[in-house]
């Protein structure tokens, strides 16, 4: 009797597995939905943009908080900004410095700029967090913020990449964005420059760059999908 | 400083002691340096201000929309530099490593302002400003450096107005929705600036401003404002994640006075007052007029137990014994017709009369049982109720309710009752009951004492009687002679003879012999109306002995026996004669027919009836005078045959 039951049970299990697996596969079979497909539950571009913009705003807020903490901590003076003699390592990345310049820039270029910035700050922030965590001068609150900040940069980059993909699918931007394929190519050649920067300068630079990212994303959104919140 | 303290505490909690102490010392040194530097800067500034006049300096640089910015300077204490053109502004834009100082692109010497337009403004690029004199002398130790996004102070929002959201149920506080427009200079639509707003409000003429939470939307609700007070509201804004606020907008005043919803309540109150007044007036009118009809319509009588003749006080709770006593006939007989009228002032009171007879009457009623008995019973002598045999009687008003077991009230008349009773050829009761009654009949001269009472002793005899009796003769006295039922004649023949003898003996008027057994007829004299057909003379004639032929008359009237005349006489005296339903003794009566034809009425106003046809065999006819009757047509009695009839 058990001998006859065993193959039956095996067959039964296989059948069940096939059923469930087919279901799972069917769900995962359509990773990206185009507009032409019906019954797709993918997010809209505006929704994606909103999420990304919120993310960047939060990131900028954290960087601002950290920077103000550092300003209080490290001998603040009235013209602190004057002491920043060296440029940030991301100064080589060409970024529009004004509204008109940003609006005049092509969407594709703007997206590339955003991605470049985000990619450029991945390593420095990680090291910054490491230095803060090991440095006993900082409390845990600052260390946590630094960690959060580095994670956010990482997540934001992924989000922007998704937005870029969707835009490429929708035909808003061309498919010739090479930065999406290999993010490491975006890094400047002298990538080790940031290691020479002090923590405060890093924070200062990152605060500025996070503001840039936030601005560029908003401009991009209001240019492409200006329905809500523009 | 909080960072320091917390870090020092965390550091103190570390395990290593020597490192902790060195770190602590370092921290203390750093903190002291920090404090000293702050104090020193202040001291320096104070010294500068106090010791020497303050040199030319920039007061502030502001950008309104992150596209342009302005810088203002002041000569300070150097009044010789206050004239226009004495000081010049130079800026350094660090967008490239080899940048150089440039002069202000646009001066406004009146305001001592340097304006940088769009072409000269770059965001995220550090700017450093310098004030130089005529001879390129810089007056500042440090440059005034900034980036444009950090000096942005947006313009105040515009179009600030408010709308009333709701008012609390208590009517003391209300909520207000305030909305505005972003400053037109800030390009929010393009996403270039992300602004968050802050609203502040206070009571008018006070400076206790209360700030609401900052939020990026262009509307906000203010809760809990009090009615009657005037509030002042203004708003300002700043860039998100930045520090510097813009200027406050112009104030808007909010004031909500009394709730205007009183109008809806007002007619309601008025209607209520009018309604109450109207009802009061109505009640007064009704009370004053006291119209019984109106009272009856508006205040109909409450049905309560009201028994005629019984004091309503007794009908109240707790007086059951008295009520029972009255109802059972105690005392004067509570429910008599002469009972006092307790409900005189309530003309609409209807009574349902309870036929609460006496106990005897009740018993008699029970004894009589069926309606037949009651029908045939004479009125009771003991009680003088009118409702004999009637279970219920309804007094005024007279409707037909409750009289199912009752016959026509018109027959309440005693005479009619007696008439009905005498019409029946009933038998006298056994024994002397009838005699007694007969005796009493002449004695009692009350019209209400009929001879019908002879039947009181034996109701059973009535069961054997016929309802219908044949009128045999009508006496001159006005009585009607009935022929008794044929069934009973033979039964009563013997007893009738005895009765006859007794009656003769007891007769007071006559001295007739009792031996007269030849009773031809038992005449039943009935005078229903009391107005007989005969006069007294006739009655006396009737009272003559039967053997005495009627003077001057070939007819022989069938007159009752002297005994019977007594009752006849008495009957004559009385309004209503008495009935003696006796059966004839002789068998001569047997052949008396039930129906007799009235042949003639003689001068004495007596009906001459034909003798009934003889039922004896015809051969016997010649013997009996009655046989002659056979030759006659049935039902006719000729006068000459009348004599034959008598034995």
Residue B446 inside a domain? The answer is no
Residue A156, pLDDT score:
93
CB contact under 8 A, A72 and B188: no
CB contact under 8 A, B23 and A136: yes
Residue A169, pLDDT score:
85
pLDDT digits (tens, 9 = 90+) for B192-239: 888 999 999 999 888 899 999 999 999 999 998 988 889 999 999 999
Nearest to B316 by CA among B330, B327, B326, B305: B305
Q: Under CATH, which number does the domain A44-77+89-223 receive? A: 1.20.1250.10
In sequence order, the 6+-apart residues with CB closer than 8 A to the CB of A54 are none
* Residue whose structure tokens are 């700029």: A113
pLDDT digits (tens, 9 = 90+) for B534-551: 444 444 444 444 444 444
Instruction: Answer yes or no: do B132 and B196 share one domain.
Output: no
Of the listed ranges A101-105, B363-367, B564-568, the least confidently predicted one is B564-568
Q: Is B68 in the A-facing interface, judged by CB distances under 8 Å? A: no
Q: Is A140 in the B-facing interface, judged by CB distances under 8 Å? A: yes
For B123-127, what is the mean pLDDT? 88
Nearest CA in chain A to B146: A81
B30 vs B379, which has greater pLDDT?
A: B30
B392 vs B124, which has greater pLDDT?
A: B124
Q: Is A82 in the B-facing interface, judged by CB distances under 8 Å? A: yes
Residue B52, pLDDT score:
58
ipTM higher than the 0.85 cut: no
Nearest CA in chain A to B243: A64
Instruction: Answer yes or no: do B134 and B221 share one domain.
Output: no
Query: Which of A60, A72, A98 is facing B67, going by the closest CB pair?
Result: A98
CB contact under 8 A, A81 and B126: yes
Show me where the domains of chain A are located: 44-77+89-223
Query: Which of B128, B147, B191 is facing A222, going by the closest CB pair?
Result: B191
Q: What distance in Å separates residue A138's CA from the closest CA in chain B?
A: 6
* DSSP-assigned letters across all residues of B501-518: HHHHHH-SS----TT---
In sequence order, the 6+-apart residues with CB closer than 8 A to the CB of B310 are B323, B326, B327, B334, B335, B339, B342
From chain A, the residues in CB contact with B187 under 8 A are 99
CB contact under 8 A, A72 and B3: yes
Residue A159, pLDDT score:
92
> In B52-168, which residue ranges form alpha helices assigned H by DSSP?
none
Phi/psi for B492 (5° steps) reads -95, 5
Residue A138, pLDDT score:
67
pLDDT digits (tens, 9 = 90+) for A40-50: 556 788 888 88
Q: Is A103 in the B-facing interface, judged by CB distances under 8 Å? A: yes
Q: What is the mean pLDDT of chain B?
A: 66
Q: Is B21 in the A-facing interface, judged by CB distances under 8 Å? A: no
pLDDT band at B279 (very low <50, low <70, confident <90, very high): very high
In the predicted model, is pLDDT for residue B116 greater than 70?
yes
Query: Which of A64, A75, A102 is facing B34, going by the closest CB pair?
Result: A75
Q: Assess contact for B69 and B62: CB atoms under 8 A.
A: yes
Q: Is B146 in the A-facing interface, judged by CB distances under 8 Å? A: yes
From chain B, the residues in CB contact with A136 under 8 A are 7, 10-11, 14, 23
* Residue whose structure tokens are 């909520």: B175
CB neighbour class for B603 (10 Å; exposed up to 12, middle 13-18, buried from 19)? exposed
Nearest to B376 by CA among B491, B461, B487: B461
CB contact under 8 A, A218 and B118: no
Residue B509 inside a domain? The answer is no
Buried b (16+ CB within 10 A) or exposed e, A131-154: ebeeeebbbeebbebbbebbebbb
CB contact under 8 A, A78 and B23: no
pLDDT band at A165 (very low <50, low <70, confident <90, very high): confident
Q: Is B128 in the A-facing interface, judged by CB distances under 8 Å? A: yes
Query: Which of A61, A98, A136 is facing B118, going by the closest CB pair?
Result: A98
Q: Is B20 in the A-facing interface, judged by CB distances under 8 Å? A: no
Contacting A residues, span 208-227, partner chain B, CB-CB under 8 Å: 208, 211-212, 214-215, 218-219, 221-223, 226
* DSSP-assigned letters across all residues of B250-309: --EEEE--S-TTHHHHHHHHHHHHHHHHHHHHHHHHHHHH--HHHHHHHSPPP-----TT
Residue B319, pLDDT score:
72
Residue B92 inside a domain? The answer is yes
pLDDT digits (tens, 9 = 90+) for A68-127: 888 777 655 555 555 555 577 888 888 888 888 888 888 888 898 899 889 888 888 888
Contacting A residues, span 108-137, partner chain B, CB-CB under 8 Å: 136-137
For A164-184, what is the mean pLDDT? 71
**Ramachandran region of residue B337, left (φ > 0), alpha (ψ -120 to 50) or beta?**
alpha
Instruction: Answer yes or no: do B167 and B143 share one domain.
Output: no
Which range in B72-81, B139-148, B187-196 is most confidently predicted, on average pLDDT? B187-196
Residue B520 inside a domain? The answer is no
Q: What distance in Å separates residue A82's CA from the closest CA in chain B?
A: 5
From chain B, the residues in CB contact with A69 under 8 A are 3
Residues B492, B497, B501, B502, Cα dihedral to 10°? -10
Contacting B residues, span 92-111, partner chain A, CB-CB under 8 Å: 94-95, 97
* DSSP-assigned letters across all residues of B434-501: HHHHHHHHHH---TT--GGGGGGS-HHHHHTS-S--EEEEE-TTS-EEEEPPHHHHHHHHHHHHHHHH
CB contact under 8 A, A230 and B142: no
Please give the distance of CA B258 from its chain centroid, rounded to a whole number. 43
Q: Assess contact for B527 and B577: CB atoms under 8 A.
A: yes
Structurally, chain B folds into a number of domains equal to: 2
For B601-621, what is the mean pLDDT? 61
For B231-252, what is the mean pLDDT? 92
Tell me the whole-structure pTM to 2 decimals. 0.49
CB contact under 8 A, B67 and A61: no
Q: Is A157 in the B-facing interface, judged by CB distances under 8 Å? A: no
CB contact under 8 A, B142 and A78: yes
Instruction: Answer yes or no: do B95 and B176 share one domain.
Output: no
Q: What distance in Å separates residue A112's CA from the closest CA in chain B?
A: 18
Query: Which of B37, B147, B240 is facing A81, going by the closest CB pair?
Result: B147
Residue B475, pLDDT score:
82
Contacting A residues, span 51-80, partner chain B, CB-CB under 8 Å: 57, 60-61, 64, 68-69, 72-73, 75, 77-79
In the predicted model, is pLDDT for residue B347 greater than 50?
yes
pLDDT band at B617 (very low <50, low <70, confident <90, very high): very low
From chain B, the residues in CB contact with A77 under 8 A are 37, 41
Q: Assess contact for B536 and B572: CB atoms under 8 A.
A: yes
From chain A, the residues in CB contact with B122 under 8 A are 97-98
In the predicted model, is pLDDT for residue B128 greater than 80?
yes
Taking one residue from A and the other from B, the number of pairs with CB-CB distance under 8 angstroms is 97
In terms of residue numbers, what domain contains B123? 57-151
Q: Which residues pair with B161 in a beta bridge?
A: B179
Q: What is the mean pLDDT of chain A?
A: 78
d(CA A130, CA A124): 10
pLDDT digits (tens, 9 = 90+) for B434-492: 444 444 444 444 444 444 444 444 444 445 555 677 787 888 777 777 776 554 444 44
For B367-382, what is the mean pLDDT? 57
Task: Examine the fold and report which residue of B133, B151, B169 is the final residue of a domain before the chain moves on.
Answer: B151
CB contact under 8 A, B240 and A57: yes
For B36-46, what is the mean pLDDT? 51
d(CA B600, CA B553): 13
CB neighbour class for A165 (10 Å; exposed up to 12, middle 13-18, buried from 19)? middle
Residue A90, pLDDT score:
82
Query: Which of A69, A98, A215 is facing B122, going by the closest CB pair?
Result: A98
pLDDT digits (tens, 9 = 90+) for B170-190: 888 899 999 999 999 988 888
Of the listed ranges B232-246, B380-394, B585-599, the least confidently predicted one is B380-394
The answer to whether the bond into A56 is cis (omega within 30° of 0) is no
Q: Assess contact for B542 and B550: CB atoms under 8 A.
A: no
Task: Examine the fold and report which residue of B101, B130, B151 is the final residue of a domain before the chain moves on.
Answer: B151
Residue A39, pLDDT score:
52
Q: Assess contact for B385 and B394: CB atoms under 8 A.
A: no
CB contact under 8 A, A211 and B124: yes
Q: Is B242 in the A-facing interface, judged by CB distances under 8 Å? A: yes
SS3 of B540, please?
helix
What CATH number does residue B98 fall under?
2.60.40.10
CB neighbour class for B542 (10 Å; exposed up to 12, middle 13-18, buried from 19)? buried
Residue B3, pLDDT score:
44
In the predicted model, is pLDDT for residue B588 greater than 80?
no
Q: Is B10 in the A-facing interface, judged by CB distances under 8 Å? A: yes
In sequence order, the 6+-apart residues with CB closer than 8 A to the CB of B179 are B159, B160, B161, B162, B163, B218, B219, B220
Nearest CA in chain B to A223: B190
Instruction: Answer yes or no: do B103 and B184 share one domain.
Output: no
In the predicted model, is pLDDT for residue B60 greater than 80?
yes
Residue B619 inside a domain? The answer is no
In the predicted model, is pLDDT for residue A139 greater than 70?
yes
Residue B535, pLDDT score:
45
Instruction: Answer yes or no: do B67 and B129 share one domain.
Output: yes
Query: Which of A98, A215, A230 is facing B189, going by the closest CB pair?
Result: A230
Query: Which of A61, A212, A218 is facing B241, going by the closest CB pair?
Result: A61
Residue B165 inside a domain? The answer is yes
State the best of B12, B241, B242 to mutate against chain A, taking most chain A CBs within 10 Å: B241
Residue B129 inside a domain? The answer is yes
Task: Examine the fold and report which residue of B151, B180, B215 is the final residue of a domain before the chain moves on.
Answer: B151
Percent of chain A with pLDDT over 90: 14
Residue B251 inside a domain? The answer is yes
């Amino acid at each position: 009797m058990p001998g006859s039951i065993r193959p039956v049970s095996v067959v039964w299990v296989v059948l069940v597995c096939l059923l469930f697996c087919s279901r799972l596969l069917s769900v995962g079979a359509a990773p990206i939905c185009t507009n032409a497909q019906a019954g797709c539950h993918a997010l809209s571009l505006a929704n994606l943009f909103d999420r990304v913009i919120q993310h960047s705003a939060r990131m900028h807020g954290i960087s601002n908080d950290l920077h103000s903490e550092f300003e209080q901590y490290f001998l603040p003076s009235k013209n602190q900004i004057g002491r920043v003699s060296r440029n940030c390592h991301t100064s080589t990345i060409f970024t529009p410095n004004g509204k008109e310049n940003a609006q005049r820039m092509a969407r594709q270029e703007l997206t590339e700029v955003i991605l470049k910035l985000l990619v450029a700050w991945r390593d420095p922030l990680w090291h910054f967090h490491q230095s803060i965590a090991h440095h006993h001068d900082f409390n845990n609150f600052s260390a946590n913020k630094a960690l959060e900040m580095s994670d956010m940069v990482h997540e934001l980059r992924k989000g922007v990449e998704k937005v870029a993909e969707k835009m490429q699918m929708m035909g808003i931007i061309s498919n010739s964005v090479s930065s999406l394929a290999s993010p490491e190519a975006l890094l400047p050649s002298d990538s080790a420059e940031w290691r020479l920067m002090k923590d405060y300068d890093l924070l200062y630079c990152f605060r500025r760059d996070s503001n840039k990212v936030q601005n560029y994303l908003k401009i991009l959104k209001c240019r492409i999908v200006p329905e809500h919140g523009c | 400083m909080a960072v320091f303290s917390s870090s020092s505490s965390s550091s103190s909690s570390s395990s290593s002691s020597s490192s902790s102490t060195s770190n602590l010392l370092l921290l203390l040194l750093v903190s002291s340096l920090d404090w000293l530097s702050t104090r020193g800067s202040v001291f320096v500034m104070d010294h500068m201000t106090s010791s020497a006049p303050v040199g030319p300096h920039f007061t502030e640089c502001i950008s309104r929309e992150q596209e342009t910015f302005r810088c203002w300077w002041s000569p300070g204490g150097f009044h010789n530099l206050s004239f226009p053109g004495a000081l010049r502004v130079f800026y350094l834009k660090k967008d490239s490593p080899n940048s150089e100082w440039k002069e202000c692109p646009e001066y406004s010497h009146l305001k001592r302002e340097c304006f940088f337009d769009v072409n000269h403004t770059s965001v995220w690029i550090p700017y450093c400003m310098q004030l130089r004199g005529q001879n390129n002398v810089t007056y500042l130790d440090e440059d005034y450096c900034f980036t444009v996004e950090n000096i942005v102070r947006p313009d105040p929002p515009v179009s600030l107005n408010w709308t009333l959201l709701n008012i609390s149920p208590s009517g003391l506080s209300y909520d207000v929705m305030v909305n505005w427009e972003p400053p037109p200079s800030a390009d929010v639509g393009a996403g270039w600036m992300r602004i968050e707003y802050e609203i502040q409000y206070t009571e008018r003429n006070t400076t206790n401003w209360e700030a609401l939470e900052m939020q990026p939307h262009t509307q906000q609700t203010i809760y809990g404002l009090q009615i009657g007070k005037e509030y002042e509201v203004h708003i300002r804004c700043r860039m998100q994640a930045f520090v510097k606020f813009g200027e406050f907008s112009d104030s808007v005043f909010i004031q909500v006075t009394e709730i205007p919803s009183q109008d809806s309540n007002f007619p309601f109150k008025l209607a209520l007052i009018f309604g109450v007044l109207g009802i009061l007036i109505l009640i007064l009118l009704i009370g004053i007029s006291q119209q019984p009809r109106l009272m009856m319509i508006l205040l109909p009588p409450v049905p309560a137990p009201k028994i005629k003749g019984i004091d309503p006080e007794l009908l109240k709770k707790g007086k059951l014994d008295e009520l029972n006593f009255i109802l059972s006939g105690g005392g004067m007989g509570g429910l008599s017709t002469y009972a006092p009228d307790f409900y005189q002032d309530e003309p609409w009171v209807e009574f349902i009369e309870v036929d609460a007879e006496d106990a005897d009457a009740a018993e008699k009623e029970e004894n009589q049982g069926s309606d037949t008995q009651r029908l045939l019973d004479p009125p009771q002598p003991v009680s003088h109720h009118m409702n004999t045999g009637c279970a219920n009687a309804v007094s005024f008003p007279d409707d037909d309710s409750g009289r199912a077991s009752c016959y026509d009230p018109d027959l309440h008349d005693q005479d009619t009752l007696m008439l009905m009773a005498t019409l029946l050829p009933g038998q006298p009761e056994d024994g002397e009951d009838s005699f007694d009654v007969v005796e009493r009949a002449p004695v009692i001269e009350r019209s209400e004492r009929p001879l019908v009472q002879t039947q009181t002793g034996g109701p059973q005899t009535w069961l054997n009687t016929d309802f219908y009796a044949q009128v045999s003769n009508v006496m001159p006295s006005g009585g009607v002679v009935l022929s008794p039922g044929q069934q009973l004649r033979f039964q009563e023949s013997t007893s009738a003879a005895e009765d006859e003898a007794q009656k003769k003996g007891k007769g007071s008027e006559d001295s007739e012999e009792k031996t007269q057994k030849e009773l031809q007829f038992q005449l039943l004299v009935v005078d229903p109306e009391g107005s007989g057909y005969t006069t007294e003379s006739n009655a006396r004639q009737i009272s003559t002995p039967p053997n005495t032929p009627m003077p001057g008359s070939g007819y022989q009237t069938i007159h009752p026996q002297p005994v019977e005349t007594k009752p006849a006489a008495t009957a004559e005296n009385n309004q209503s004669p008495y009935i003696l339903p006796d059966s004839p003794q002789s068998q001569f009566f047997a052949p008396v027919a039930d129906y007799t034809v009235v042949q003639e009425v003689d001068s004495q106003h007596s009906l001459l009836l034909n003798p009934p046809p003889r039922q004896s065999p015809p051969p016997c006819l010649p013997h009996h005078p009655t046989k002659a009757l056979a030759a006659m047509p049935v039902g006719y009695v000729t006068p000459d045959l009348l004599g034959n009839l008598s034995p």
